Amino acid sequence: MGRIRNHDRSAVAVAAAGGVALASLGLSAGLALAEGSVTIASWGGAYQEAQDKALFQPGAEATGIEVKQETYGGMSDVRLKVQAGAVPWDIVSSGSGSAARAAEEGLLEPLDYNIIDVSNFYPGLYTDTCVGSDVFSVVLAYNTNTFSEDKVPKTWADFFNPEQFPGKRAYRDKVSGALEPAIMADGASLEEVYKVLDSEEGINRAIERVRQLKPHIAVFWKSGAQHAQLMKDGEVDMTTGWNGRFDVAAKDGAKVAYTFNQGLLDYDCFAIPKGAPNKDLAMKFLATISTAEMQANLPLHITYGPTNKKAYEIGQIDDALARKMPSHPDNAALQVPISLEWYAKWEQKASQMYQDMLTE
């Protein structure tokens, strides 16, 4: 939740269908040879539905571990449960940033990478306490009616240039994923982004760009559902946002396209809360759903890429689908991976500065 809120990315209009599907999950998974059970908390909606179909159900079948599912409100819930000494969940699905901060607070069990094989993972998509589950991207999306073929915004500089690219914008309402595009628009290259932002002057430079664009920013968005809806309704002509959302919106007929160019590559991960009742089983289960075979299922259900590189090589994801994934090598090369270190060091400070700008 701290940075990029997964549950927000979950459902656009399909949430209702998700509820029904989720209700039947416990049952179907329960039919496996009960070796014991793990309880997984995730964000509900289309996101958890995809996780269920791609990872949880096949994982339960492969291991014989019964899977019980719940939804939760993020690491602040975990904190409460850990402090109360009553942790109901064995595995939680989290954003990478909030997982990193929860780890710092000692809310998570260390993961055993002798059991979970991450040798084929993209580097940086797992930490001591959290193993990557899917890769997504913060991208520049635009209305295909407003911007026709010959003149579409391709870079953050275009996004921050209302003279050349007139139109209403939407932008993130908090600091996560908001400073990187601004500093790139200000001339920083992909490699330089976090170097430039590693000082108050750098952060100020980025915020100043947002401040200048503010008259053209109609909405500061809070959630993935919101930025998808804004594009669908034509309320804004350009926005930042999570790529999977725009694919769902486009499938629903929204005039929206996006580019991976200068995108921010981020990931979600699974963690085990401190004091989880079935820690060992959870570790085993995580090992299974982190394999290339399981990871290769995910793109079939949502346009978020696998964290296990090998998933692309086993033939389950065809080339056309693979090219749509944020973590496809061609796409990944265009983007900058989110720096957890930067967020750990600067997020609270930068948030205050960003908020000062927002409330002006």
Q: Which residues are near another protein by CB under 8 A?
A: 1-2, 5, 74-76, 79, 98, 101-102, 105, 168, 173-174, 218-222, 233-235, 347-348, 351-352, 355-356, 358-360
- Residue 9 CB, shortest distance to another protein, in Å, is 15
Q: Tell me the one-letter amino acid at 54.
A: A
- Residue 175 CB, shortest distance to another protein, in Å, is 9
Q: What tokens appear for 314 in the block?
A: 């086993």
Q: How far is CA 246 from CA 60, 142, 165, 228, 239, in A?
A: 31, 10, 20, 6, 10
Between 74 and 181, name the residue whose CB sits nearer to another protein. Answer: 74
Between 160 and 260, name the residue whose CB sits nearer to another protein. Answer: 160
Q: What tokens appear for 20 in the block?
A: 């029904």
Task: List the one residue out of 251, 243, 233, 260 whose CA is nearest residue 145.
Answer: 233
CA 326 to chain centre: 11
Q: In angstroms, rounded to a whole number, what is the distance separating the alpha carbons of residues 5 and 236?
A: 21
Between 296 and 358, name the residue whose CB sits nearer to another protein. Answer: 358
Q: What tokens appear for 225 in the block?
A: 């559902």
Between 8 and 109, name the residue whose CB sits nearer to another protein. Answer: 8
Q: In angstroms, rounded to a whole number, what is the distance separating the alpha carbons of residues 64 and 42?
A: 21
Between 79 and 324, name the residue whose CB sits nearer to another protein. Answer: 79
Between 174 and 209, name the residue whose CB sits nearer to another protein. Answer: 174
Angle at 123 between CA 118 and CA 128, to 5 degrees: 60
Between 282 and 358, name the residue whose CB sits nearer to another protein. Answer: 358
- Residue 107 CB, shortest distance to another protein, in Å, is 9
- Residue 153 CB, shortest distance to another protein, in Å, is 19
**CA within 13 Å, CB half, 289:** 30
Bridge partners, 37 (sequence order): 66
- Residue 210 CB, shortest distance to another protein, in Å, is 12
Between 66 and 347, name the residue whose CB sits nearer to another protein. Answer: 347
- Residue 95 CB, shortest distance to another protein, in Å, is 11
Bridge partners, 143 (sequence order): 256
Q: What tokens appear for 340 in the block?
A: 């957890």
- Residue 253 CB, shortest distance to another protein, in Å, is 14
- Residue 214 CB, shortest distance to another protein, in Å, is 9
Beta strands in the chain (DSSP E): 37-42, 66-71, 91-95, 130-143, 169-172, 217-221, 238-242, 256-271, 336-337
